[in-house]
């Protein structure tokens, strides 16, 4: 049970956690509460609520006489479960998906830190993820957490349908970092599909499904088009065999970060060899990132094409016109069959959606290309002077 309380020494609100009155005299429950406080106190991380004090109400002034309690920072916000209820069964906009994945990345960071201290959470689920009004993310309720390899307490611990098969089998000694990987995968699955990996039902049927049934591919049941790469990350984390999952939460976090850097938000366009993607002097409303193939950029000077650069996979062009609101300064033509990501001006206007890193990245490229365009303009002036000077070899 969790109560709001006042720390009289610090004159601040705290959360006070204690046992239900019926469990005050239960030695096992008492020991579990003490263990939760001690384990959580070892985890000094922004995504884990800090424990302030552990004590016993010997006189029964606030609680049942002899009740053990601990106090921790009071966290306010909305659970991820409540946030998912608002979008359940509907398509995600790029902004909604970006925001929800950012929450999951912060959960991964907190769990990875706990793992580095040898602590397994064992009960990761949307209801235990608290999101503050300023973007704070806390992973709550470490009541069934354990040390790696420990055999403590009830072996069957966690919440169906987010627990791993080894948890559902009650194999406490087999529970490790990959068990939390499974639970994070289950949260990701629900984020994408609008429901957990297993259909609702009583605990026995859910436990049977966790042990015996294969999980439906998230892309086959979602009400919207889940990006293939993201769906694959979720299904890998949910492998029944721990050896087939991500080997650690850090590895899962890394794949999610790579996905978010992959340009999944942007439409892809294909151009045939020789086709012009942007044309000099035309207005521009989009920038492009080359996914496959090569392009060349050139300017026309007195009817002659002056090549500026050749570009390949991963390079960006067209951003100068988008940021500067000026006509295209060069023509870009496909040298092979080319695939590009098209990024519109409106997308660049919102760093929260794009991600701060991409805004900085693209702006840096824009500055570099502006310098190149300045050099190209200088070359154009030199060529014009050379062709108009009657004493030059060309004018002779």
Handedness of CA 173, 176, 178, 179 (dihedral sign): positive
Nearest to 108 by CA among 283, 258, 249: 249
Question: What CATH number does domain 2-73 carry, 3.40.50.720, 3.30.200.20, 3.30.1050.10, 3.40.50.2000?
Answer: 3.30.200.20
Class of domain 78-260: mainly alpha
Q: Which two tokens stand for residue 328?
A: 């295209």
Q: What backbone torsions phi and psi does residue 62 show, to the nearest 5 degrees?
A: -115, -35
Handedness of CA 231, 234, 240, 242 (dihedral sign): positive
pLDDT of residue 27: 84
Instruction: Look up 85 and say whether it is catalytic.
Output: no
pLDDT of residue 376: 64
Residue ranges, CATH 1.10.510.10, the chain:
78-260
- From 11, 57, 109, 123, the catalytic residue: 123
pLDDT of residue 113: 97
pLDDT of residue 263: 78
Residue ranges, CATH 2.60.120.10, the chain:
268-388
Q: What is the pLDDT tens value at each position of the chain, 396 positions in all?
A: 787 888 777 778 888 888 877 777 788 888 888 888 988 999 999 999 998 888 887 666 677 777 888 888 888 899 999 999 988 767 777 778 888 999 999 999 999 999 999 999 999 999 999 999 888 999 999 989 988 866 554 557 788 889 999 988 888 788 999 999 999 999 999 999 999 998 766 677 777 777 777 899 999 999 888 999 999 999 999 999 999 999 999 999 999 999 987 778 788 899 999 999 999 999 888 889 899 999 999 999 888 899 988 999 988 888 777 777 778 989 999 999 999 998 887 776 655 555 544 554 455 455 556 666 666 666 667 666 766 666 655 443
Nearest to 77 by CA among 169, 155, 140, 9: 140
Cα–Cα distances in angstroms (integers) from residue 143 to residues 64, 128, 146, 194, in the given order:
20, 11, 9, 27
Residue labelled with tokens 């590009």: 340
Q: What is the rounded distance in angstroms from the CA atom of residue 2 to the CA atom of residue 131?
A: 18
Q: Rg (Cα) of the chain, in Å, rounded?
A: 29
Residue ranges, CATH 3.30.200.20, the chain:
2-73
CATH code for the structural domain at 268-388? 2.60.120.10
């Amino acid at each position: 049970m969790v109560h709001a309380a006042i720390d009289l020494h610090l004159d601040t609100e705290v959360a006070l956690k204690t046992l239900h009155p019926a469990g005050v005299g239960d030695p096992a429950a008492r020991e579990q509460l003490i263990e939760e406080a001690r384990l959580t106190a070892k985890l000094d991380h922004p995504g884990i609520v800090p424990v302030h004090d552990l004590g016993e109400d010997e006189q029964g002034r606030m609680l049942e006489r002899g009740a053990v309690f601990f106090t921790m920072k009071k966290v306010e916000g909305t659970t991820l479960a409540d946030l998912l209820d608002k979008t359940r069964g509907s398509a995600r906009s790029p902004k909604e998906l970006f925001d929800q994945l950012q929450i999951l990345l912060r959960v991964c960071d907190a769990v990875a830190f706990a793992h580095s201290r040898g602590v397994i959470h064992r009960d990761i689920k949307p209801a235990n993820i608290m999101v503050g009004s300023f973007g704070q993310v806390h992973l709550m309720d470490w009541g069934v957490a354990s040390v790696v390899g420990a055999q403590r307490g009830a072996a069957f611990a966690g919440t169906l349908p987010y627990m791993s098969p080894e948890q559902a089998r009650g194999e406490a000694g087999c529970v490790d970092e990959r068990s939390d990987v499974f639970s994070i995968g289950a949260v990701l699955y629900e984020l994408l599909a609008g429901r957990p990996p297993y259909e609702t039902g009583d605990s026995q049927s859910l436990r049977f499904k966790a042990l015996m049934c294969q999980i439906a591919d998230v892309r086959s049941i979602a009400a919207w088009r889940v990006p293939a790469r993201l769906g694959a990350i979720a299904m890998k984390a949910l492998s029944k065999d721990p050896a087939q999952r991500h080997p650690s939460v850090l590895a899962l976090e890394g794949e999610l970060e790579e996905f978010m850097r992959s340009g999944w938000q942007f439409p892809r366009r294909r151009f045939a060899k020789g086709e012009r993607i942007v044309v000099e002097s035309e207005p521009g409303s989009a920038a492009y990132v080359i996914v496959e193939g090569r392009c060349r950029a050139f300017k026309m000077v007195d009817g002659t094409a002056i090549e500026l650069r050749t570009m390949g996979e991963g390079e960006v062009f067209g951003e100068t016109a988008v940021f500067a609101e000026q006509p295209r300064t060069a023509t870009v033509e496909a040298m092979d069959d080319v695939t590009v990501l098209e990024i519109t001006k409106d997308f660049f206007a919102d760093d929260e959606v794009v991600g701060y890193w991409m805004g900085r990245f693209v702006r840096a490229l824009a500055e570099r290309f502006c310098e190149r365009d300045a050099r190209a303009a200088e070359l154009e002036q030199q060529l014009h002077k050379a062709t108009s000077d009657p004493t030059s070899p060309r004018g002779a």
